[in-house]
A = this chain, B = another copy of it.
Amino acid sequence: MVSLTKRVLFEIIPNGPNETTITLSSTTNKGHYVSLRPFVNGEGKEFPFEWAFGGTSDTLEVRKIDERSNGLDFNFKFDTNVKLEIPETHRGVIKTVFKTWDAGLVEETGSVFPFGPDGAEVKFRELWQPIDPTRLEFVELSHGNDVDPNATSIALHTDNSEYEGLVVIVGNWVQGILFKKGENTLKGVNLVRSQIDANKSVKDLFKFGPDAAKFPTELLLKEGSKTTSNGVEWSVIESNL
């Protein structure tokens, strides 16, 4: 089952919550995921994102805790904090718990260690609203399980000597990350969020980075196929088309 969730709040406990981004997390049927966190008021910022990360399903471990709760351990393949070597940010596995409330919202809690494993634990809370990935507006689902089981679920991956990247399509929403290897500055970070409309035309909501033109533009492809965009070849590692 695909999942598209919109973040409602971010909170460093006990500082109180806020939400300064339009954060969407996409997860495909097979568990490939991308989360992009652009600031609402990002104009003028060199990097107008709070954070972005993603990974193939092998970088995410899920443990069922009870009927409402799952433990999710992330060990991101793509992480802008790591890529940009931003100090005082977490490295390695992040252990989280996702708990579904009666109202359908999903509360995520966990801890990060921005000063390393021997440093102080920083507890955080995020809250997620499941939205319908087959719609172009933010239409709330009353429960994440209500998602259309036939919603499009595609993942494209690239990993060559120069670039590595992941693009996921859930329903009508595209999110992607492309890193230039060995380039630990903003010159190495590319991010994209797009929508695919009823006519299958792709509209970019944002496209960031000097190599953003290398994101694939042919998206609705079958598993095992390949597509090349401005010299970067992408492999379709998952598709339900």
Contacts and interface: CB of A to CB of B under 8 A. Distances in A.
Nearest to A18: B101
A140 B131 CA distance: 10
A139 interface: yes
Interface string A136-168: 011110100000000000000000000000000
Interface stretch (A19-27, A172-180, A198-206): A19-27
Given A14-B14, A139-B137, A140-B137, A102 B8 contact: no
A20 B107 CA distance: 13
A239 interface: no
Contacts of A127: 8-9, 17
Identical subunits present: 2
A19 B130 CA distance: 14
Contacts of A14: 14
A223 B104 CA distance: 38
Contacts of A217: none
A29 interface: no
Nearest to A9: B127
A241 interface: no
B139 A20 contact: no
Contacts of A139: 137-140
A107 B8 CA distance: 11
26 contacts: A6-B140, A8-B9, A8-B105, A9-B9, A9-B105, A14-B14, A16-B125, A17-B107, A17-B125, A17-B127, A18-B107, A19-B101, A19-B102, A19-B103, A20-B103, A22-B103, A22-B142, A39-B102, A40-B103, A131-B140, A137-B139, A137-B140, A138-B139, A138-B140, A139-B140, A140-B140
Given A8-B8, A138-B140, 5 more contacts: A6-B140, A16-B125, A18-B107, A19-B101, A139-B140
